[in-house]
Amino acid sequence: MTISEIARLANVSIGTVDRVLHKRGRVAPDTIKKVMTIVDDYGYQPNTFARNLKLNKEYRIGVLLPLLHSEYGYWNLIYDGILKAAKELSPLAVSISVAEFDRSNPDSLLENGDKLMQEEPDAILMAPVLPDASRAFLAKHPQLDYAFIDSPLPDMNPVSSVVQDPFRGGYMAARMMHLLSPQEGTYLIIQTHKTAFNSHERARGFKSYFTGRPGYKRLELEMQTTNGGEIFIEQACREHADIRGIFVVNDAVHRVATFVSLLGRKSQTILIGYDLIDQNRKAMLEGKVDCLISQRPNFQGYTAVYQLYRKEMLGQTPEKTICVPIDIVLPENLTDEESFSTLPNTYT
Amino acid sequence: MTISEIARLANVSIGTVDRVLHKRGRVAPDTIKKVMTIVDDYGYQPNTFARNLKLNKEYRIGVLLPLLHSEYGYWNLIYDGILKAAKELSPLAVSISVAEFDRSNPDSLLENGDKLMQEEPDAILMAPVLPDASRAFLAKHPQLDYAFIDSPLPDMNPVSSVVQDPFRGGYMAARMMHLLSPQEGTYLIIQTHKTAFNSHERARGFKSYFTGRPGYKRLELEMQTTNGGEIFIEQACREHADIRGIFVVNDAVHRVATFVSLLGRKSQTILIGYDLIDQNRKAMLEGKVDCLISQRPNFQGYTAVYQLYRKEMLGQTPEKTICVPIDIVLPENLTDEESFSTLPNTYT
DNA sequence: TAATAATGCGTTATCGAACCCCATATATTA
DNA sequence: TAATATATGGGGTTCGATAACGCATTATTA
């Protein structure tokens, strides 16, 4: 079904059909009805190739993420996925512009968001780790489509949110902790961004697993990037001889792991953390980390880009929420690379 | 960079540029060189929209899979992923044709493959579970692009293979078995297609984990679809009082699980199997299955379709091998739906 | 009533690539 | 030398959607 076929069937010109389809007015009500009937009956879908050829427009996605080169490699994994999608979609006139912000400074989000808007993006892909600033930024551009990754932002209307249930992730981590170190004792929970939704929920999920198991105690600890959080860990280990495991709610687990190994307490301590960043991969291979929960960060970035593209370029309506499965990574299923790249050819 | 820009820069007509690009001859050697220099310098890429609009051709992918409505729901999950990709890509002129074959009958693959070829597909997406017949089929159509899912086919040259390492999967299953049931004893390994590459390798991986752990014994059992494999399980349970766990190398684990529960032996037996088909999901929720390994079947089908599309329509070079991570599914991270199950609701 | 505005609908150029036809220019042969 | 063959390149059309433009016809206002 093409516009000219519709025009022929309706005994009007293609210009009229076009005016009906785009609601540009100047068409008699009867003619509109006649055309729309045919459109509906035949299920007309505009030809994507013709449409985009004529419009001849780049679709630019503005990406707004926390500092990529911070010590939290997680954001780089997300960025990898975004880049991969952008590369695949570049022949389809999709491009990205990137801006970073300092997640410890809400003003930074607004400033860099404004800078990003100067590139005139058609949509925004962002991680709403700073809820208020994120809302404020989006409120300034009410017509803009946007998608969220990493965490949701309630009461907003994104094209799509690609997220993982953090409570469930923490609960899963606790289950693995229990499996890997069944003996009763104390578990240490370490956070770095205590106010962050994901961190908080993961810790809550972890604790929730052990509710009703009185033999297992939990001890919470906050560790800043800047301070020597190591001191507190050492202190906790001294004061609690029965520490069986440490759960770090984000990708910083390798730092804790290295320190625990240094203290010589690795053999009696199970370490569980988040995300397959290189340092965590390495720490796991060295036996310093026992289990990682992955939230498939590259998948998140990759998928969010595709969802925005499908909405805009193909006119499809993406799933409002894409819930990323909670991946359990143990040394036995730790592969060299994530599914986004080629693996050594073991099949010959 | 467009054809006409190249033409302008080279002081020739667009017709000449076109003849150079398509090597259709009738161009002076000097002109060819002049044009190609510009093409290379500016990195000319043909406009996908213009190209496909003009060619106005459907890209049809022929899908050749084992019977979808057999009791092995795994193939349906793969098919779901293929369908999802096909729906997303339908506005980009991609379509699929499906044929099924009986994996117990190699001739059936050839017959249904021939039937599929009558639809004149531009590429084939198949599961080479019958290596010889698959080779024979592909040999009949030497010019055809193809991709493999489920398992690889050595010495072939597919556009892409989307597979999981079955040895490693079996090894992982053993590790989980060991974690969930640490006590020494006997483990039962149940296969249904003993000759199948994946089955065999998974069993081998499982056994390999326990090599060097003399306290753990393995007992292998073959169970056909047709016979009452249950008899053998019952017999094995009678003869071996120390059976701690059962590993089923494919999605049939729910059958075994149901039977073990019926025998009243579930509480002392850990059950591990493959894939998130509905019955297994249900069995896990009911506590009849303890752990599942997922090979992300919908991802496999989905990705393979996209790889073929990217090669043909976008001229991209896909990864030769895409290795699917080994997913561990426990009741705690069993979600209601896979991330691939929800479809855009606009598609008609 | 004349001037002007509003309405309805058809025509046409455009996007970039593909491909065919035809007009020259040059080479070859009778 | 003239006729014919061949090499080379120019130009036009097509794919389908979009939107500007133009031309009637009718409605509204001065």
Domain parsing of chain A, residue ranges = 3-44, 55-164+297-317, 166-294+329-347
Single pTM value for the model: 0.94
Q: Give the three-class secondary structure for B240.
A: coil
Task: Give the CA B6 to C1' C15 distance in Å.
Answer: 16
Nucleotide nearest to A22 (CA to C1'): D18
Does A22 reach chain B within 8 Å, measured CB to CB?
Answer: no
3-class secondary structure per residue, B263-294: CCCHHHCEEEEECCCHHHHHHHHCCCCCEEEE
Confidence of residue B20 (pLDDT cuts 50, 70, 90): very high
pLDDT of amino acid B195? 85
Q: Which among A49, A180, A342 has CB closest to B52?
A: A49
Mean of the per-residue pLDDT values for chain B? 92
Task: Give the CA A50 to C1' C4 distance in Å.
Answer: 39
- Tell the CATH topology of B166-294+329-347: Rossmann fold (3.40.50)
| B172 interaction partners in chain A (CB closer than 8 Å) | 330, 332-333
- Is the pLDDT at B347 greater than 50? The verdict is no
Given a contact cutoff of 8 angstroms between Cβ atoms, the answer to whether B47 and A53 are in contact is yes
Weakest-pLDDT range from A150-164, A334-348, B244-258, B318-332: A334-348
- Is the pLDDT at B346 greater than 70? The verdict is no
User: From CA B76, how far away is CA B69, in angstroms rounded?
Assistant: 7
A residues 286-345 closer than 8 Å to B (CB): 310, 314-319, 322-328, 330, 332-333, 335, 338-339, 341-343, 345
- Is the pLDDT at B200 greater than 70? The verdict is yes
| B47 interaction partners in chain A (CB closer than 8 Å) | 53
Class of domain A55-164+297-317: alpha beta
Q: Give the sheet arrangement for strand B327-329, strand by strand.
A: B216-222, B185-191, B243-248, B270-274, B291-294, B327-329
Query: β-pairing, B291-294 with B270-274?
Result: parallel
- Is the pLDDT at A274 greater than 60? The verdict is yes
As given in the structure block, the two tokens for residue A221 are: 């600890």
Query: β-pairing, B160-163 with A145-150?
Result: unpaired
More confident residue, A248 or B230: A248
Given a contact cutoff of 8 angstroms between Cβ atoms, the answer to whether B321 and B60 are in contact is no
Q: Tell me the average pLDDT across A98-111.
A: 96
How far A40 CA lies from chain B's nearest CA (Å)? Answer: 11
